[in-house]
Amino acid sequence: MSLNYDLIALDVDGTLLRDDHGLTVAVRDAVQETAARGAQIVLCTGRGPSGALPILGELALGGTVITHNGAATVKSEDRSIVNEFAMEPGQLMDFVRYCREHGLHFDVNTAFDIWVEQLSPEAALMYSRFHAEPIVGNFEQEFPKRLVKFTAAGPKDQLDQVEKEWGAWSVGLKAIRSGDLFIDVHHPEANKGMALKQLAESRGIEPARILAIGNYYNDITMLQYAGMGIAMGNSPDAVKLSAQAVALSNSEDGVAHALRQYAWS
């Protein structure tokens, strides 16, 4: 059987993993088989490296991971940063004030660390599901340097309103919904599509030789850049419309079926 694509870009939550954040045997085996046939597997996730690299380990793979929705690309072997889009801390103050005033939990991220002002038991449990261990810091004194992502977390209905309000702000940054319960803020040039483009060009891989699979709004740029963009069956309609094909859902081993249908023939 011949390999149809040289690089396979996979979103993690809602795509590679079930909603309980578990990796099924069927999906793991399909990804490993695709890699064994010669494809380069790249995880492209909203998670930071601390949350992405354990998933790469579960797949028994190494290589490069695109993290923080494209704001930081790192090598798994030595945890070196290939590329990052850093923000100026002062640009985030409007978002910080908004979250404080509206009772929204938020964090700020460097390429490898997550910082919070406070950590409730509920928030600690949330982070543990993503293999993350936040650092509690005092933002009144100083923000961490080289921030690549700001995330607000809260109930879906509240974040629906936040998304509308932040989308109208002109602060030199970009807010994007990365999940029903999360909104991320990045450098305006940071997205999964741009990070995938940079990585592919560095390896001499044309878009036509890239297959990407994702399920949410932060995956659209990646699906549109790849020669074959596949939306999961559990994706919102706008994400499905941005893709060339729609797979089964993440509860139905959609990634496994999509790889076997499209990655080789």
For residue range 86-95, what is the model confidence (pLDDT) as tens digits? 998 888 999 9
Given a cut of 70, is residue 1 above it in pLDDT?
Answer: no
Residue 1 lies in a domain: no
According to DSSP, the β-strands at 228-231 and 245-246 are: parallel
Mean pLDDT for 21-36 is 97
Residue 2 lies in a domain: no
Place of tokens 């597997």: 41
Query: pTM for this structure?
Result: 0.92
Among 139, 160, 186, residue at a domain's last position: 186
Tell how far CA 39 is from the center of its chain: 20
Q: Domain of 130? A: 89-186
pLDDT tens digit string along 233-257? 999 999 999 999 999 999 999 999 9
Distance CA 22, CA 158 (A): 27
Residue 19 lies in a domain: yes
92-98's contacts with Cβ under 8 Å and 24+ in sequence apart are 92/143, 92/147, 92/150, 92/173, 92/185, 94/169, 94/171, 95/150, 95/152, 95/166, 95/171, 95/173, 95/175, 95/185, 96/139, 96/150, 98/162, 98/165, 98/166
Structure confidence at residue 143 as a pLDDT band (50, 70, 90): confident
Across-strand partners of 176?
A: 184
- Who has greater pLDDT, 18 or 145? 18
Residue 60 lies in a domain: yes
Looking at the structure, tell me whether residues 166 and 125 fall in a common domain. Answer: yes
Looking at the structure, tell me whether residues 93 and 129 fall in a common domain. Answer: yes
Q: Is 60 left (phi over 0), alpha (psi -120 to 50) or beta?
A: left
pLDDT value for 89: 84
DSSP E strand stretches across 105-208: 105-109, 114-116, 135-136, 149-153, 174-179, 182-186
Three-point CA angle 139, 143, 145, nearest 5°: 160
Residue 36 lies in a domain: yes
Looking at the structure, tell me whether residues 48 and 94 fall in a common domain. Answer: no
pLDDT tens digit string along 78-123? 999 999 999 988 889 999 999 999 999 999 999 999 999 999 999 9
CATH number at residue 176: 3.30.1240.10
Looking at the structure, tell me whether residues 252 and 215 fall in a common domain. Answer: yes
CATH number at residue 199: 3.40.50.1000
Distance CA 84, CA 102 (A): 30
Residue 67 lies in a domain: yes
Among 186, 220, 241, residue at a domain's last position: 186
pLDDT tens digit string along 176-233? 999 999 999 999 999 999 999 999 999 999 999 999 999 999 999 999 999 999 999 9
Mean pLDDT for 44-64 is 95
Which tokens hold the place of 191?
Answer: 């997205």
Q: What is the count of structural domains for the chain? A: 2
Among 134, 158, 186, residue at a domain's last position: 186
pLDDT value for 144: 86
